[in-house]
Amino acid sequence: MGFLIDRRLQRVEKEISQAVIARLPRYFRYLGELKDQGRERISSRELSRLMHVTASQIRQDLNNFGGFGQQGYGYNVEYLYAEIGKILGLDKTHHLIIIGAGNLGQALANYMNFERRGFIFTGIFDINRELHGKKIRGIRVRPMEEMQRFVRENNIDIAVLTIPKDGAEAAAQKLTEAGIKAIWNFAHMDLDVPEYVQVENVHLSDSLIKLSYMINQYENGK
Amino acid sequence: MGFLIDRRLQRVEKEISQAVIARLPRYFRYLGELKDQGRERISSRELSRLMHVTASQIRQDLNNFGGFGQQGYGYNVEYLYAEIGKILGLDKTHHLIIIGAGNLGQALANYMNFERRGFIFTGIFDINRELHGKKIRGIRVRPMEEMQRFVRENNIDIAVLTIPKDGAEAAAQKLTEAGIKAIWNFAHMDLDVPEYVQVENVHLSDSLIKLSYMINQYENGK
């Protein structure tokens, strides 16, 4: 009986975290901007106005991590930014490769902002021979055959999948064999990998379709 | 009192829909694939195995829209695909412009799959004079000054924002003035637009940061 209650509590705790976790990158983003503006501290009320979230939501969310605020003082921006960064694993450096040197792969390779957060663009791979040797941000496109060895030898954590779905499943399997920790998946499909490989999907078509739904709903409601 | 109960029921109904709605593009994707494979019907059990969702979840979700299944027969793939498409507004054509002709803007312009879903790429705009006149999928890059007139004259529904956050807010305001219905926002910020403008954010950094969090959690839990 006690065991059952414990398990239930654990589950509740985990659920709370999941919802909060989903909001953490956004807190991190706003705090980063405040830090860049030279702000030293901020009240939950002001942060609430800025982020369009209730102040009590902010206090509740941040309390999950020991509550970094002080009554009457508010939050120390730099400290809170650093602490949330640690929770998000951003105090560590991640080495990242991109699979697919097409438009999207190149766009992501050139997205400088990732580097600022400790995501180091280390390699890019493509099956297209014509692209091999071409340099993207100083890094040459390599053939897919070199991928597994490259992952093993260069301590690669994250692979970004930007190839069409035909090749995505096979690539994900090869990455898994090579010991990749995580896949950032832009392929238009859900990957079937072991649960020790973390997957974050960016299904662009699904996102655009959601927008179509919102337009439709709004127009039907008028 | 009756009024209060009614309002509460309405709210519950709305909440259910929101969760279901978020899952609809994924149903649509899987049904589209089945359709392409020539499948005529599918049971909730098989769809469940395919999508890694419980069969009862599937039945519940689809029941929200009148339930398209028949006992012992399952779902008619083409019918269900078409019906979900209608709910998602995909039976209509949407005209889309892209703001920002950088790597990401070009990648999205070249993403043929969108066209298949009725999202017609109609124009692309950039402040960079050197890009003006350059053709992307047969459509020339125009100066930002022409954007508002273009939106009004070409019945544009959706604008895709792929510019840095410095210019994103101003662009969103101009688009709103010109009567845009929806913004697909890739800028690394939350937009402040009236609620009749639908916004769907794709915050790539937030997504990558979530992956960092998952790696961190997994390694701490080992």
Q: Do A202 and B204 touch (CB under 8 A)?
A: yes
pLDDT digits (tens, 9 = 90+) for B29-55: 999 999 999 999 998 889 999 998 898
Q: Does residue B154 surpass a pLDDT of 50?
A: yes
pLDDT of residue B4: 41
Task: Please indicate whether, in this complex, the C-beta atoms of B88 and A213 are within 8 angstroms of each other.
Answer: yes
Work out the mean pLDDT of chain B and round it to a whole number.
87
What's the whole-model pTM score?
A: 0.85
What pLDDT is attached to residue B166? 87
Q: Could you tell me which chain B residue has the CA closest to the CA of A95?
A: B212
Between CA B173 and CA B177 the distance in angstroms is 6
More confident position, A69 or B193? B193
User: pLDDT digits over A117-167, tens only?
Assistant: 899 999 999 999 999 999 999 999 999 999 999 999 999 999 999 998 889
Least confident of A170-174, B4-8, B72-76: B4-8
**How far, in Å, are A115, A177, B39 from residue A125 at the CA level?**
19, 17, 35
Distance separating alpha carbons of residues B144 and B174, to the nearest angstrom: 10
Q: Do B207 and A213 touch (CB under 8 A)?
A: no
Buried b (16+ CB within 10 A) or exposed e, B169-204: bebbebbbebebbbbbbbbbbbbebeeebbbbbbbb
DSSP secondary structure of chain A: -HHHHHHHHHHHHHHHHHHHHHHHHHHHHHHHHHHHTT--EE-HHHHHHHHTS-HHHHHHHHHTTT--EETTTEEEHHHHHHHHHHHTTTTS-EEEEEE--SHHHHHHHT-THHHHTTEEEEEEEES-GGGTT-EETTEEEEEGGGHHHHHHHTT--EEEE-S-HHHHHHHHHHHHHTT--EEEE-SSS-----TTSEEEE--HHHHHHHHHHHHHHHHHH-
How many Å lie between the alpha carbon of B4 and the closest alpha carbon of chain A?
Answer: 22
pLDDT tens-digit map of A34-87: 999 999 999 888 999 999 889 888 888 887 765 566 667 788 899 889 989 998
Answer whether A211 sits within 8 Å of B200, measured CB to CB.
Answer: yes
Count the alpha carbons within 13 Å of B173 in the hemisphere toward its beta carbon.
5
Measured between CA atoms, the residue of chain A closest to residue B109 is A103
Cβ <8 Å between B88 and A119: no
Average pLDDT over residues B68-80: 79
Residues of A in contact with B107 (CB under 8 A): 102-104, 106-107
Cβ pair B158:A211 closer than 8 A:
yes
- Residue A113 with chain B: CB contacts under 8 Å: 188, 205
| Interval A175-188: pLDDT, tens | 999 999 999 999 98
Q: Which of B193, B7, B198 is nearest to A218 (CA)?
A: B198
Domains of chain B and CATH, by start: 2-87 (1.10.10.10), 94-206 (3.40.50.720)
Identify the pLDDT of residue A17. 67
Give the ipTM. Answer: 0.85
* Contact pairs from chain A to chain B, CB under 8 Å: 170
**Contact check, Cβ <8 Å, A103/B110:** yes
Chain A residues with CB-CB distance to B206 below 8 A: 25-26, 29
Q: Give Cβ neighbours of residue B57 (< 8 Å, ≥ 6 apart).
A: B48
Is there a contact between B213 and A119 if contact means CB atoms under 8 Å apart?
A: no
What mean pLDDT comes out for the span B183-189? 94
Q: Which amino acid is at A210?
A: K
Contact A88 B213 (CB under 8 A): yes
Q: How far is B78 from chain A (nearest CA, A)?
A: 18
d(C-alpha B177, C-alpha B152), whole Å: 10
Nearest-by-Cβ selection for B25 from A24, A52, A209? A209
The residues pairing with A99 across neighbouring beta strands, listed in sequence order, are A125, A161
On chain A, the residues whose CB falls within 8 A of the CB of B90 are 209, 212
